[in-house]
Each structure stands twice: as structure tokens, then as C-alpha cells.
Structure 1
Amino acid sequence: MIPLQRGPLPEDLSARLAARTERLADRGGGARELWRDSRTVRRDLSAHLVAMAAGLSRCMYCGDSEGTSIDHFQPIALAPMRAFDWLNHLWACAFCNSNQKRDRYPTDRHGLALLIDPTTDEPADHLNLVLSTGAYRPRTPKGHETILIFGLDRPVLERGRAQAYVRCRSMLRDLARTTAAGERAEAAAVAHALTVQPFADVLYEMLRLSTAPRAALVFGAEAVAGLNLLKGPRSTERGPFRG
């Protein structure tokens, strides 16, 4: 899971969302039905969520599968008046949304969410990614519940992250070598491929750790050089993870 930037919506779409929320208030219910019937709104929202997602329309939770639908972070069953709230919409794959999360929304004793929202939280504050094994370890109760609810400890995801780590190191070395050789087109292609592959959380974690004292020893000097090329003028906090 990586942090994501939520931008503003066009005025027209914001107005349509607000109008539907007003209809809900007037009707006193029926949020699911109104959401299901709002096909054009869902289509337009999906386009903005895809633009926010990492890589090529990746699920904002597992980072592996293609996102397929809008997830209500706070489920409609618990917060029907937030059905059309832009700040409550995330892009998810069918497995994370329908098989894992469903209507689960754990909270602490103050009623605050115990799930990571990647548009407002820094996932690394709550999750520790062990790059060599692909396993997530919780740093906080929010991290623990996020792993549990979204099944981030599924063996297939852990294997996928571990392989992504091997792939990233190799591609970063290629990026450093092609750049040093003046092969600009090839270097640009490698950099783009790095940033749109699944499991963006692996590359994100490598970028985060690239300035650590032992980074060159752990990743290899050429891989660190590739990470520095990827960062360029960008912050290490958010990589260039857009398709």
C-alpha cells in the first residue's frame, strides 16, 4: 500500500454528487439503490480514481490486481449519507472489495477507523514491509486491522512482493547502466516500466530506504543509483507511480 494524492473533482461532478446526497436526505434512505442507479456518476468517478491509482489502474489496497470498482471506505451499510462523498471513494479489485473487506469497518473506542486510508494516511507509519519475504508486519493497531481485513498476508501477495523486489533491483541496475551509457530512450522505457508494474509498495519502500546508511549494501550500489535517478527532483515520500 502506498500513499495516494486525492485531487479535486470538476465542479459539475461535485455538484452531481451533492445533489444525490440531498436526495438521500430527502428520501431518508435507499442509499444502495440510488448508488446502483447512478451509472453515469459511477463511471465519471471511476475515471478520476483510475487516474489516482498506482501503475496501470492497480487496486489501492493490495496493489496487485487491476482495480475494477469503487469501494466505499466507510461502507454504505454503516454510513449511507457518505455514499456519494468523494472523500469516501477508493479504487479496489473485486477480491479486496467483495471477498475481503465487504462491509467490515473496524473502529477504535473513539469511533475512529482502524483501517488505513491511503489518501489520508502514510501506510508506512502503520505497516512494515519486509522486502526479502514480501511480508507485511503491523506497526500499529491500524496496521494490524488493515492486514487482516484486506488479507495483505495472503501467501500469493507475499510471494508477489518478494518477486517484485528481485525484479525492481534488476531493473534499477538496468536503469543505472543504460543512463550511464547514454541510452536515453532505453533508460526512459525502463524507468516507466518500473513505475507502472504491480506491487508499487515494493518500489516505494525501496525509495523510502534509499538514503539509509546501509542502502548500497542491501540493494547494491547500482540499484541505489537507479533509485536516485527515479527520484530526481521528486520527494522520496511519493514516487512517480502513475501510468
Structure 2
Amino acid sequence: MIPLERPKISTAFENRLTTKSKSLAEESADTKKARETWKTARTIRRDLKELLAGMAAGFVRCMYCGDSLGTDIDHFKPIAQDPLSAFIWSNHFLACSHCNSNKKRDQYPCSPSGECLLVDPSKEDPYDHIRLNLPTGKYLGRTDKGNETIRVFGLSRPDLELGRAHAYVRCESMLRDWSAQIGGGREDSAKAVLTALTVQPFADVLYAMIKKSYAPGAASIFHPVVLAALREVRENGKMT
């Protein structure tokens, strides 16, 4: 999971969402009514999915696991918990069917004070709550919110951990290649490598590598060429 920038929607589309939300509020809609209204709002769901696809990291990837294709619109705060939030733009994320239907479903854990215990990647940096062990591909929670996020979205699934571990090896290799292309003056080739790095599945691996490249002991983790490449990618604003 990496930070995501939620784009501003057009006034016209915002008005369409607001109209739906106002209608639900006026009807004091319950979960059943909100779900029925959501299901029949085909054009709104189509337009939302298009917006979310552009917001996702990589090629329409799940905003939670980062691996699978994002096929579903997930309500971060489930309709079952808050029917009136069904059409709120800030409540929508693109998710794969596994993260959305098999794992999260209607879960929305909160602390005793009522604070949501799931990381919202459009409002906060997931790295503040979860850290990635690069060689193993395993996520480790740093806070209660981090632990619940890992649990609810199933981020410790064996296939995800194995995929992240392999992605780490690929990222290191590609960063060396990128550095060599830069050193050889082959800017077009270097750009192609960097683009592939930033849009591949498991963009969270590259993000974690960049974060760790500025942490104490980074020189003992990364080869000097890889470390320099990571910092240059960060300084050039390709992934912060």
C-alpha cells in the first residue's frame, strides 16, 4: 500500500454524487435501500471506476494489495456501516475482488474512541503504520491501525508476500540497469526502465525501498549503485 493522490472531480460529477446522497438522506435510507440505489446507478459507477483507475498506482491495480487488477469499487466505510456515505467521492477506492469481497467485506474496525483503524492511503502515508521487510515481502504493523489494515485486507497472504519478495529482486536489478543507462547517456532507455519501475505491480516495494534508502543503516541494506539510484529517483520526484 502506498500513498495515493485523490484527484479533484468536476463540478458536474460532484453535483451528480451530491444529488444521490441528498436523496438517500431525505429518505433516511437504510443499508438495503442504499445498496439498491448504488446498484442501479450504473453510469455513476462507470464514471467513478474510470476516475479511480487513473488514481491507482500502475495499470489499474488494487489500491490495497497493489498486486491484482482493480475490478471493484470499494466503499472504505461500508454501506452497512453508513448508508449515507454510498456516493461520497472520498469514500471510494479501487480494489481487487479478493481484497474487497473475500477479505474486507463490511469490516470497519474502530478504536474505543471511534477512530477508524484502517489506513486511508488517500489521506495518510501507509508507511507510518506498516513497514515492509523487503527480503521476505512481509508487512509488519507499527501501530494498531497498521495491524488492523494488514488483517482486514489480508496483506499477509502467502502469494502477496512471495510476490513482494520477487519484486524486491526485480527492483534492485532494474535500478542497476537504470543507473547504467543514465551513465551511458541512453536517456530514452533509462526513462523506459523508470516507467516500468513505477507502474509495475507491488509499487509498494519500490516505495518502501526509497523510504529505507534515507533511513539509518541504508548503506548496509543496499548496494551503493542501488542506493544512489533510489535517492536519485526520490529527488527527481518520480515516487515520494
TM-score tier (shorter): over 0.9
Residues 1:37 and 2:36 aligned together: no
* Displacement after TM superposition at 1:215 (Å): 2.3
Corresponding residue of 1:66: 69
User: 1:82-115: CA deviations, max 9, x gaps?
Assistant: 0000111111001000000000111111111111
Is 1:176–1:229's contact at 8 Å kept on the other side of the alignment?
no
* Equivalent residues in 2 for 1:167-206, closer than 5 Å: 167-206=170-209
Output the TM-score relative to the length of structure 1.
Answer: 0.94
Distance 1:194 1:57 in 2: 15
Distance 2:25 2:37 in 1: 12
Q: Which secondary structure does the structure 2 equivalent of 1:207 belong to?
A: helix
Letter in 1 for 2:199: V
Corresponding residue of 2:99: 96
Q: State which of 142, 147, 151 in structure 1 corresponds to 2:145.
A: 142
* Displacement after TM superposition at 1:213 (Å): 4.3
Q: Which secondary structure does the structure 2 equivalent of 1:70 belong to?
A: strand
Corresponding residue of 1:128: 131
Question: Relative to structure 1, is the Cα distance of residues 221 and 23 closer, same or farther in structure 2, using a 3 angstrom cutoff?
Answer: same
Letter in 1 for 2:193: V
Question: Relative to structure 1, is the Cα distance of residues 216 and 177 closer, same or farther in structure 2, using a 3 angstrom cutoff?
Answer: farther
Letter in 2 for 1:14: E
Letter in 2 for 1:21: S
Corresponding residue of 1:51: 54
Deviates more, 1:95-104 or 1:211-220: 211-220
Output the TM-score relative to the length of structure 2.
Answer: 0.95
Is 2:62–2:68's contact at 8 Å kept on the other side of the alignment?
yes
Distance 1:32 1:94 in 2: 18
Distance 1:210 1:231 in 2: 9
RMSD: 1.3
Deviates more, 1:212-221 or 1:22-31: 212-221
Alignment identity in percent?
Answer: 52
User: How many aligned positions are there?
Assistant: 237
Is 2:35–2:79's contact at 8 Å kept on the other side of the alignment?
yes
* Displacement after TM superposition at 1:221 (Å): 1.1
Is 1:59–1:67's contact at 8 Å kept on the other side of the alignment?
yes
Unaligned stretches of 5+ in structure 1?
Answer: none
Q: Which secondary structure does the structure 2 equivalent of 1:182 belong to?
A: coil
* Displacement after TM superposition at 1:219 (Å): 1.5
Unaligned stretches of 5+ in structure 2?
Answer: none
Corresponding residue of 1:9: 9
